[in-house]
Structure 1
Amino acid sequence: MAPTSYQSPHVGDKDDKHTYSQSAESNLSHSQSTVANILAQKGSDVVTVRPGDQIGTVVETLRDHRIGAVVVTDQNGSVVGILSERDIVRRLADTPGHTLPQKVEDLMTREVQICHPEDPLFEVLKHMNEGRFRHMPVMKDDALAGIITVGDVVGFRLNELEYEALRMRMMIVG
């Protein structure tokens, strides 16, 4: 016997045969979270260096700021490259004992992948994953507006998921 809350379909009821379920894309994309959401929490400070700086100085900067990459800018503040710990480690392996005196311009990645504040986090994270890099400068109106990391995106999304789970529990419990 059917529960009393069950009512059989009647003529004129909605004939919507489409079901709504969760998918990987719906779970990851969320409600249009953007790079701007991360920058609102994190801030827009970016540690920058110049192309002529020595790697030894950059290593100290990375250590002192507890970061994994620096953005390389010219005298006008334009982004000309990015230098990460990985770049330095690769060069250390290639030129042991001779890396620290080298210049940033000799190690930096010149084709910098950037994002914008309005970019969806899902797309940015996908791009970072496919490109196998962990740091992405944020540009707004041709100016450096911040930098985000894979860790920033993952941490932000984990907080969103925790909040969603809490809301679901509250809906269920009442």
Structure 2
Amino acid sequence: MPSSYQAPSRKDKQQATTHSQSSSTNTTKETATVGKILASKGNDLFALRPQNTLHEAVEMLRDKRIGALVVKNSEGGLQGILSERDIVRKLAETPGQTLAQKVEDVMTTNVEVCHPDDALITVLRKMTEGRFRHMPVIDDGNLVGIVTIGDVVNYRLNELEYEALQLKQLIVG
């Protein structure tokens, strides 16, 4: 037997292991909120006044590539929302006479709003049940942004991708 040979000991079976994940880090879930969407997408908010025409609204929707505009009163408070759907309904009711009409005559005035700390699942349910796709965000009485159903779905898809990656890492190690 060579002189450098040493018989195996208990210490040899103890391997250095790393723990980048644990069951608690893989199962702990922060509640997804409206504020997280606004933080990632920004607070861009496109607004009109009630006295603007639908022609001006249509141009803004086209130029900004969005589906709805908030309508603010003279103090900057939320007075309504004007969506593509509102405009299409009015087009059907008054063909050829629609674009000259005022925003205040077409906008939705009973607006559902949310807050930055609202859970996304709650907002998604409200949107689905109310059959609308845009929701203004109010914080301390001030209009701070707007979330769309697309924002919520995209955020959730990214979460699902991340969860799938975590599961793969947990299984593979």
What TM-score do you get using the length of structure 1 for normalisation?
0.82
Amino acid at match of 1:39: L
Give the structure 1 partner of residue 168 of structure 2. Answer: 169
Paired residues for 1:111-150 under 5 Å: 111-150=110-149
Consecutive unaligned residues of structure 2, counting only runs of 5 or more, are 1-28
**1-side partners of 2:45 and 2:111: how far apart?**
15
Paired residues for 1:1-174 under 5 Å: 31-174=30-173
**1-side partners of 2:30 and 2:95: how far apart?**
48
- SS of 1:56 mapped into structure 2: helix
- SS of 2:144 mapped into structure 1: strand
- SS of 1:101 mapped into structure 2: coil
Deviation at 1:31, TM superposition (A): 3.1
Give the structure 2 partner of residue 21 of structure 1. Answer: none
Deviations 1:3-62 (A, max 9, x none): xxxxxxxxxxxxxxxxxxxxxxxxxxx631000010000111110000000000100000
Amino acid at match of 1:53: N
Amino acid at match of 2:130: G
Question: Percent same amino acid at aligned positions?
Answer: 59
**2-side partners of 1:142 and 1:31: how far apart?**
26
**1-side partners of 2:103 and 2:142: how far apart?**
21
Deviation at 1:75, TM superposition (A): 1.1
Amino acid at match of 1:94: E
Consecutive unaligned residues of structure 1, counting only runs of 5 or more, are 1-29
**2-side partners of 1:79 and 1:40: how far apart?**
21
**2-side partners of 1:114 and 1:170: how far apart?**
39
Aligned residue pairs total 145
What TM-score do you get using the length of structure 2 for normalisation?
0.83
